Chain A
């Protein structure tokens, strides 16, 4: 057994209320703040099954951390930082930036596309539709995209984000408006992205990747908030497409490079770390700035990737339904990132200040009225897209006031794994999982049968429970639940 796997967390856990538990900062030497885990009784029982809470405590030792080391209800054990973690650091108090607090898949995220199609339109052509999506969209390892970008073009994509795709006819102005941060972190510095990362990114823009990444055709199953659903153009029975992917090999390589470069850096700044994977640098340091620049570039590339994937999905719908995507109403609802670190203004101790919010497997969830939101969403709050595990329900939420008070404007990002990949493969083969999905009326196409087994619904926490907690804790509010009809994955 590797450290963290199989061992239960045995440290303190104090109940704050029905949706929050505290790890007091007295638990461990070096903790600067408490740890706070948002979960209910049922989820906390699963969460203590591994060492994820210990990781929440470890993150609390990082210099400059503000208020608390936070974890969302979909928390699970990661490398260094847990997945489902949020950590805000203040550059004026020696705050650090850490690649481990963002993850290997920089700006892994989700985008939701609506349509005016109904279940009755799609059901008879579902097999053909899923087959055509699977044929068009490269997924899994070893698959190149149909487009290759030169180094100069790649650098433009990394500097500008999807707005650079307007010139290629791969994006529309409206798409940019409905992407978090308008698809562009403006401090991106493509010149700090290594040649290796560029090489990995050349032919991967517009590829889905493997692991838990997928593209799903979904139907709006139930609406919980009519006003918000209407603002997003969602109604019961309407068909949507959900895309879950990130920065592909380019982003992974940026993280690998950063961890390599940061090897001796914490010691150089007198930072003691309980875990090497927490490697970090002060935000204002040359090393910290270098990572920030490269990470921003990878994040912008990820938005380009999801934009191209959406473009290709629209084309497939056009050919299957014989109408333009505009007449099918295939507009972008929103695109959210769930692996990033960004400077944001937040109130800490009654004062507004700029902090760097690391979200690793957590989603930004700005409340109604926030100036960063597109005008249409200002009255309702930021759309938050929660992909379920493959084949189970996904959720659309909106950010609420509680997120600004409690979690630096953040909420959960998904179901969170509850079972290792090896165990998932042992309990059910990919072919059996496919049969089970088919019995639920879900058409699944995957490159690797093993991948299908690894991502089976039983391997994940119950997404409905996770969503219930963030809803009750007022971090975000339920708007609609989406049910999968067809899924393609690596």
Chain B
């Protein structure tokens, strides 16, 4: 589950999930829900595979989201479905989506980057909660 949170200059994302796989997957959907107005209308025409390794799980979350910003920025692909496996500071993910089509997709603000500022990733009784701030 993800929700947008208020931030003066930028946009924040709060994600809660039962486990890290779901947390990373929901964070990715949260990111694309900012990039495109109707995420549900994105068709699963293309499949992309990601493998990432970072210093720790928190950095991995930032690197993962920045990876998606980079993919959208260079390939103009909107992704809506994610299957993510996180192990410690490593990640393997498959994502489906389609190329941005100005006729059918309405884009939201441009995301410059995902920042470390105010980054939290905590364990709760129900699983995990994370907060990140995006520079838009």
Contacts and interface: CB of A to CB of B under 8 A. Distances in A.
B119 interface: yes
Nearest to B58: A276
Contact of B109 (A105, A199, A211): A211
**Candidate in B76, B111, B116, B133 with the most chain A CB atoms within 10 angstroms:** B116
B72 A2 contact: no
Contact of B70 (A196, A417, A447): A196
A420 B8 contact: yes
A448 B110 CA distance: 10
B116 A79 contact: yes
Contact of A421 (B59, B72, B109, B118): B109
Majority secondary structure of chain A interface residues (helix, strand, loop or mixed) = loop
Contact of A252 (B10, B107, B108, B112): B112
B9 interface: yes
A111 interface: no
Nearest to A139: B110
Contacts of A1: 5-6
B33 to A, nearest CB: 12
B118 A104 contact: no
A2 B7 contact: yes
Interface string A404-433: 000000000000011111110000000000
Given A6-B6, A249-B73, A423-B6, A259 B11 contact: no
Contacts of A490: 109-110
Contacts of A423: 6
A183 interface: no
Nearest to A210: B110
A141 interface: yes
A256 B73 CA distance: 14
B40 interface: no
Interface in A115-148: 140-142, 144
A1 B7 CA distance: 8
Interface string A75-110: 011111001000000000000000000001100000
Given A3-B118, A77-B8, A263 B76 contact: no
A420 B133 CA distance: 12
A76 B118 contact: no
Nearest to A249: B73
Interface of A: 1-6, 50, 76-80, 83, 104-105, 140-142, 144, 196, 199-200, 209-211, 249, 252-253, 255-256, 259-260, 263-264, 275-277, 279, 417-423, 447-451, 454, 490
User: Ordered nearest first, which 9 A-B pairs have the shortest CB separation?
Assistant: A210-B110, A79-B117, A141-B110, A277-B117, A420-B6, A79-B115, A252-B112, A2-B118, A104-B112
Given A79-B117, A210-B109, 4 more contacts: A79-B115, A79-B116, A210-B136, A448-B106
Interface of B: 4-12, 35, 37, 55, 59, 63, 66, 69-70, 72-74, 76, 100, 102, 106-113, 115-119, 131, 133, 135-136
